[in-house]
Structure 1
C-alpha cells in the first residue's frame, strides 16, 4: 500500500480521530466550571490537560495523513503519558486534599513549574495502589492489552525493529501499512477508553449536563432531578464508542454514580 492510495487516505482511523478530538474539546469546555480543589488555582486544571490531549489527537491525525505511522506512534505514547498524568493528579489531589491541606503542594508545584511530575512508572504504581480507583484499575488491567500497547509505542519511539524505520517512510510501498492502521485504530480507542474510564469513574460530576447549573445561573428553579442528567455528547460517546467496546466498564461506572447514564 502507498500513502496516496484511497484505502490509506480514507481509512476509518481518520474519522475516529476526528471524533475523539471533538469529544475532548467539548469535555474540556464542559468541565471548566468545576474548580480543581487542592491546586490553589481558580481554573480547572483538567480542562487544560484535556485541551492539550485534544491537540495531540489532532497531531496524530495530521502525521498519519502524511504517512508517518512511526512518528504517530511516538505521539500516541505521549497521549498515554498525558492520560496517566491526568489520572495520577486527580487521584493524588482527592487523597491529599482536606481542610487542613487546602493546597496539595506536590500537584501545586507541578502546576506552577516548581517541580517535575513523577516518572511514568511511579505514577502508574500510585494509581494501581489507590483504593479510590481500584475497581476500574482491576477491570482495565485484567488482560495485558495495555502492557502490549505500551510496548508497541516504545518500540516505535526507539526504533527497536527495522520495520519501524520503514513505517516512517511515506514514499515506499509497504504491504503492512493497512495492518498498522488497523492496529493503531484499536490502540487509540483503548487509550481513550482507559483515560475516560478513570475520569468518569473518579469524577462523576464531569458526566453532568449543563441544564442544572444553567438554571441556577438564570435564577430559575432547576427541573427536578436535572442534577443527575448526563450531557448528551457524553452519552453519545458511551453509546457509540465506549459501551460497544467495553460494556463492563460502562456498567462499573453506572454502579458507582447516581448520574443517569444509559
Structure 2
C-alpha cells in the first residue's frame, strides 16, 4: 500500500538513506564553498575579470554537488549520474581554462581572448574532446596525468555517465524509479561514491598542481593587510581545509598523487 504522505526516504530504507555518500557529498560541497572564497582575491591573469573566474566556477560546482545530494536523497540515481557528468565536465573546463591562461598569458598577450571571450559570452569553450586532449598533452601536467591514466577508471566513469544520461541500457532507466523494489540501489550508491571520489581527486590534483598558490592559508595576506610583518615562510602555509582534504582524500585514496604533489610544490603540504 502506498501512503499519500510517504516520502522517498522512507521507502528507500535505512541502508540507503544513511549511506556514507551523503556525508561525502556534504564534505565536497563545503570544500568548494571554502575554495570559492579562498581564491577570490587572486587575479585571473589574462582576463578582464575583476574577481577571480574560479570563485564563481567553484561556487557553481558546489551548487551541482548540492543538487546531486538532493536528487540522490530522493532515490533518483539515474538523474544523479547526469549531474555527475556535469560535475566532471565543469572540472575539466576549469582545469582547461587555467591551463590555457597559464600557457598563453604574457606581457605581449595580456588578454587571452579565447578565455576572456568565453567569460563575456561571445565565444564558446571548445568541446570536451578538445579540452581533454589539451590537458592530456600538457607537459606542465604530465606527472599528474601519467598517474591518473595508469588505469581506465576515468574512461569507465565517462562511459557510466553517458550510459545513464542517454539511457543506453534499460536498467539505468529503472534506477530513476524510487517506488519499485530494486535490491541493487545501495550497490549503485557505492559505485557512485567511488566515481565522485575519482573526479574530485582529479580536479584537486590538477588545479593545485597548476595553481599552488590556491592552497595558501590567509595568514600571510592578513598580516600585510593590517600592517604587520608576516611570519617567516607564512606564504607557504596551507589552508586548513585544503590540508584536511589532502589528508582525508588524496593521501588516503591516491597516495601516489599525494607524493607527486608534495614533490612539486613550495607549499608546506604535510
Quote the residue 2:110 is aligned against: 102
Structure 1 stretches of at least 4 aligned residues deviating more than 2 Å after TM superposition: 1-4
Quote the Cα distance in structure 2 between the aligned partners of 1:15 and 1:95.
37
**1:130 equivalent among 135, 138, 141:** 138
Any conservation in 2 of the 1:38–1:102 contact (CA below 8 Å)? yes
2:161 corresponds in structure 1 to 153
Q: 1:134 offset after TM fit, Å? A: 1.2
Distance verdict in 2 for CA 1:206–1:161, change over 3 Å: same
TM-score by length of structure 1 reads: 0.98
For the residues of structure 1 that align with 2:143 and 2:129, how far apart are their CA atoms?
Answer: 20
For 1:155 and 1:13, the matched residues in 2 are separated by 21
Cα offsets for 1:84-127 (capped at 9, x unmatched): 10000000000000001000000011000000111101100011
Q: In structure 1, list runs of 5 or more residues that go unmatched.
A: none
Cα deviation code 1:219-250 (max 9, x no counterpart)? 10001111110011111111111210011111
Task: Check conservation: 1:40, 1:108, Cα contact below 8 A.
Answer: yes
**Cα drift, residue 4 of structure 1:** 2.8
State the aligned residue count.
Answer: 262
RMSD (Å), alpha carbons: 1.1
How big is each residue's C-alpha offset from its partner over 1:139-190, in whole Å with a ceiling of 9 and x where there is no partner? Answer: 1111100000000000000000000110000101101101100000000100
Question: Is the 8 Å Cα contact of residues 211 and 222 (structure 1) preserved in structure 2?
Answer: yes
1:2, distance to aligned residue in structure 2 (A): 7.9
Deviation track 1:22-57 (CA, whole Å, cap 9, x = no partner) reads 000001100111000001212100111011000000
In structure 2, distance between residues paired with 1:257 and 1:88: 20
Instruction: Report the alpha carbon displacement of residue 251 of structure 1 after superposing the two structures with TM.
Output: 0.8
Normalising to structure 2: TM-score of the pair? Answer: 0.95
SS of residue in 2 equivalent to 1:116: coil
Gaps of 5+ in 2: 1-8
